[in-house]
Structure 1
Amino acid sequence: MPVRLLRGLPLLALLILLSGCSAVVLKPAGDIAVQQRDLIIISTVLMLLIIVPVIFLSLFFAWRYRASNRDARYEPDWHHSTQLELIIWSAPLLIIIALGALTWITTHTLDPYRPVERLDAARRLPADAKTLDVQVVALDWKWLFIYPGYGIATVNELAAPVDTPIHFTLTASSVMNSFFIPALAGQVYAMPAMQTQLHAVINAPGEFEGFSANYSGAGFSDMKFKFHGLAQADFARWVERVKRDGTALRREDYQQLEKPSVREPVRHYATVDASLFDAIVNLCVDRTKMCMSQMMAIDAQGGIGGLAGIANVANLAYDRPRAIAAGERPRGNYVLSMCSADLVPAAFSSRLAASAAR
């Protein structure tokens, strides 16, 4: 075999390996992801308008003014050219202006918190279109999806009807993760004790990959799920199957589910505690813990100091491993407000005075 062919074998092997890759970011199935793909392509082309000529001219000048070229003009005293300065500065300036305008527009139109206004480039969103609400919880290391409109939930499986706006509300149980379905839309972070949002729409049926794009520990590599784009009738059948085959997801069940696990299989839940997602966000799935929203309401009224305030903070704590290890029973009460004697109803004033006298 000729030496030239042998040199080309590594390149051929690389091309064969790359042929198995799926550039899903450049071939998305959802309108938001399509707009993001267009943004990537347009931005890349605009930047190449500067990069390509600079690379070409760098190589051209090195070749044109090489030491062996005696025909090149030799001008050791040259120092300025107004025409050249205009070209050097005006071209990048125009491209920066174009990129700035593009960034300004897309920052608003592709804001993940902004509801979708169209199904795709050719179809506006119908006035009577219903939005599918999905509550997403990033666990260690799996995904929980709650459908509040249907009263069901799934683990590591997500489905949505084609050409239907989807509103995701996201949070996390412990550490920050990034929710990403490349075929549907860009990634959005999910953080504990916080809610983020994402609006999207899937335009083609199929099975697409979803995963976490933010490293979150040992099981991160297997923190994946399947997203199914389904026709309306197929989605209705999928919901019925979840209701038929699933179990109940109560707060106690969630406390077992949130424990770290790797390669968790798909699970279906036919019923879900209606207050579960709100309790996850407020760090009070355990009913003995004070909800973060309750603490913020107290703080908004001026807060509570002293021993009462200390007790409240203890009940707000997300995790109390020392108390659990010691076998202590967590307290389920806390102080919501305090009042002075003049606010106590008259019927109890004498009893209060008698207690004070003791």
Structure 2
Amino acid sequence: MMSVKTIADQMRFDMRLKLLATSSIAAVTLTGCSEGVLSPQGPIASAERQILFNSLGIMLAIVIPTILATLGVAYWFRSSNLRARYMPDFEYSGRLEMLVWSIPAMTVLLVGGVAWVGAHDLDPRKPIASAVNPVRVQVVSLDWKWLFIYPDQGIASVNQLTVPVGTPVNFELTSSGVMNSFFVPQLGSQIYTMAGMVTRLQLQADRPGAYRGLSANFSGDGFADMRFAVNAVPAEGFAQWVIATRRAGPLLDAQAYADLARPSEAVAPFTYREVAPDQFNNILISATQPNDTSRLADLASQRTEK
């Protein structure tokens, strides 16, 4: 049989293991927050984090007193407290019913009000107030990669999004097939992409850096690798990137898009030096006819003839 000392040592060892495991989990959790919604790098993400904090504060203001009241009731009605009244025939109390139902009702009203106001303030289509003209980016979710077209600059990139710091970015998003979801946690506002439809989103990066973009909606075998890098650079750096992109890479026309649209996984980022006119609109139209592989080429030839 184990001695009392051995049992005590084993208990202390188990306690150390539990503390170590708890500390490790906390460290991993806090590390993950450094690249997530709790580390915003733009006005939209900052406003969304504030909504989370406001909701948390409201819930804690209700949950903590409820927990304390539960502990207080358990302590007061303990078997050793002879002053506590035992009421086996108790059936109903109007005041107690009002208290019990008012707490969840107040939670719903307050948290719902915060979410309702925030949803209107953070409408994805609502322009971001700025003295700088926004940069337009057309986004296409493919299997399993992201295509970013810069219509005003006449260039495009795959799995790489470069934006100027302090400048609003006006996104137009669609899908080549299955529904997907565009999400940059540190910039905010996840939004869906759907074939034959255009959704709109306004984002802005306030600080230079490299941010993680991802697909937040399962879309098949290559979903796990459907990520993209968001490079926020100063305005001068963005202009230099545009110039460098125009000097290298292939042309994004109907045939190049048809090749790109074929399912592929873990695609390394690359750029297109030039984009055919109305390429995004052609993609939008062709997405409603996925079995017609020549649709894009036909549309491109018709526009050329005109």
After TM superposition, the score normalised by the length of structure 1 is 0.73
Cα deviation for residue 76 of structure 1 reads: 3.1
- 2:291 maps to which residue? 319
Looking at structure 1, the residues matched to 292 and 286 of structure 2 have their Cα atoms a distance apart, in angstroms, of 13
Q: Hey, which bits of structure 1, 4+ residues long, moved more than 6 A?
A: none
User: What does 1:29-40 align with in structure 2 at a 5 Å threshold?
Assistant: 29-40=41-52
Tell me whether 1:52 sits opposite 2:64 in the alignment: yes
Cα deviation for residue 60 of structure 1 reads: 3.2
Cα deviation for residue 73 of structure 1 reads: 1.9
Superimposed CA distance per residue, residues 122-144 of structure 1 (whole angstroms, 9 cap, x where no aligned partner)? xxx22xx2010000000000000
Whichever residue aligns with residue 22 of structure 1, its letter is G
Cα deviation for residue 2 of structure 1 reads: 5.5
Looking at structure 1, the residues matched to 194 and 278 of structure 2 have their Cα atoms a distance apart, in angstroms, of 19
Looking at structure 2, the residues matched to 320 and 282 of structure 1 have their Cα atoms a distance apart, in angstroms, of 11
Looking at structure 1, the residues matched to 108 and 171 of structure 2 have their Cα atoms a distance apart, in angstroms, of 34
Looking at structure 1, the residues matched to 62 and 86 of structure 2 have their Cα atoms a distance apart, in angstroms, of 27
Cα deviation for residue 48 of structure 1 reads: 2.4
Residue 111 of structure 1 aligns to a residue whose secondary structure is: coil
Whichever residue aligns with residue 110 of structure 1, its letter is L
Contact 2:177 2:290 in 1 (8 A): no
Count of aligned positions:
285
Cα deviation for residue 45 of structure 1 reads: 1.6
Cα deviation for residue 88 of structure 1 reads: 3.5
Tell me whether 1:22 sits opposite 2:32 in the alignment: yes
- 1:12 maps to which residue? 20
- 2:5 maps to which residue? none
User: What does 1:92-131 align with in structure 2 at a 5 Å threshold?
Assistant: 92-117=104-129, 125-126=130-131, 129-131=132-134
Residue 247 of structure 2 aligns to a residue whose secondary structure is: helix
- 2:3 maps to which residue? none
Contact 2:37 2:188 in 1 (8 A): no
Residue 22 of structure 1 aligns to a residue whose secondary structure is: helix
Tell me whether 1:136 sits opposite 2:144 in the alignment: no
Whichever residue aligns with residue 130 of structure 1, its letter is N
Cα deviation for residue 261 of structure 1 reads: 0.4
Tell me whether 1:260 sits opposite 2:263 in the alignment: yes
Between 143-152 and 92-101, report the one with greater CA deviation. 92-101
Residue 40 of structure 2 aligns to a residue whose secondary structure is: coil
**1:14–1:140 CA distance, 2 compared to 1 (3 A):** farther
User: What does 1:1-358 align with in structure 2 at a 5 Å threshold?
Assistant: 3-20=11-28, 21-23=31-33, 24-81=36-93, 83-117=95-129, 125-126=130-131, 129-283=132-286, 317-319=289-291
Contact 2:214 2:226 in 1 (8 A): yes
Looking at structure 2, the residues matched to 82 and 208 of structure 1 have their Cα atoms a distance apart, in angstroms, of 55
Cα deviation for residue 47 of structure 1 reads: 1.9
Superimposed CA distance per residue, residues 313-358 of structure 1 (whole angstroms, 9 cap, x where no aligned partner)? xxxx42159xx9xxxxxxx79xxxxxxxxxxxxxxxxxxxxxxxxx
Cα deviation for residue 250 of structure 1 reads: 0.8
For structure 2, list consecutive stretches of 5 or more residues without a partner in the other structure. Answer: 1-8, 300-306
**1:245–1:14 CA distance, 2 compared to 1 (3 A):** farther
Whichever residue aligns with residue 241 of structure 1, its letter is A
Residue 19 of structure 1 aligns to a residue whose secondary structure is: helix
Cα deviation for residue 87 of structure 1 reads: 3.7
Superimposed CA distance per residue, residues 253-310 of structure 1 (whole angstroms, 9 cap, x where no aligned partner)? 00000100011011110100121110111116xxxxxxx6xxxxxxxxxxxxxxxxxx
For the aligned residue pairs, the C-alpha RMSD in angstroms reads 2.4
**1:63–1:32 CA distance, 2 compared to 1 (3 A):** same
Cα deviation for residue 12 of structure 1 reads: 1.5
Looking at structure 2, the residues matched to 18 and 137 of structure 1 have their Cα atoms a distance apart, in angstroms, of 37
Looking at structure 2, the residues matched to 5 and 60 of structure 1 have their Cα atoms a distance apart, in angstroms, of 33
Whichever residue aligns with residue 67 of structure 2, its letter is I
Looking at structure 1, the residues matched to 292 and 242 of structure 2 have their Cα atoms a distance apart, in angstroms, of 38
Aligned-pair identity in percent equals: 39
Whichever residue aligns with residue 27 of structure 1, its letter is S
Cα deviation for residue 106 of structure 1 reads: 1.3
Looking at structure 2, the residues matched to 206 and 184 of structure 1 have their Cα atoms a distance apart, in angstroms, of 11
Whichever residue aligns with residue 271 of structure 1, its letter is E
